[in-house]
């Protein structure tokens, strides 16, 4: 699950998966923008079955937070 999320996040950010670290604050990546944020929300829904409102999503700060989110809520 971790690898799948990191690969999907890397694709949304147009980065190499090896550049993404679990403890990184994903909003601090240079390529992160409001458009990227929408892509990440859509990816969480389509790839992991996690529907989340923007207000709730804003509580998640690190890549590790997202890994725990999808690990706890995904059946894929």
Report the CATH number at residue 29. 1.10.1200.10
pTM here? 0.87
Q: What is the extent of the structural domain holding 22?
A: 2-73
Q: Using an 8 Å Cβ cutoff, are 60 and 5 in contact?
A: no
H helical segments located in 1-76: 2-13, 34-48, 54-57, 63-73
Using CB atoms within 10 Å of the CB of residue 64, give its burial: 0 to 12 exposed, 13 to 18 middle, 19+ buried: middle
Q: What is the pLDDT of residues 1-57, one digit of tens each?
A: 899 999 999 999 999 999 999 999 999 999 999 999 999 999 999 999 999 999 999
How many domains does the structure of the chain reveal? Answer: 1
């Amino acid at each position: 699950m971790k690898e799948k999320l990191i690969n999907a996040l890397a694709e949304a950010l147009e980065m190499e998966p090896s550049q993404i670290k679990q403890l990184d604050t994903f909003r601090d990546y240079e390529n992160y923008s409001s458009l990227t944020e929408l892509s990440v929300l859509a990816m969480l829904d389509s790839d992991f079955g996690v529907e989340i409102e923007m207000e709730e999503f804003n509580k998640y700060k690190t890549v590790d937070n997202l890994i725990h989110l999808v690990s706890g809520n995904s059946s894929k």
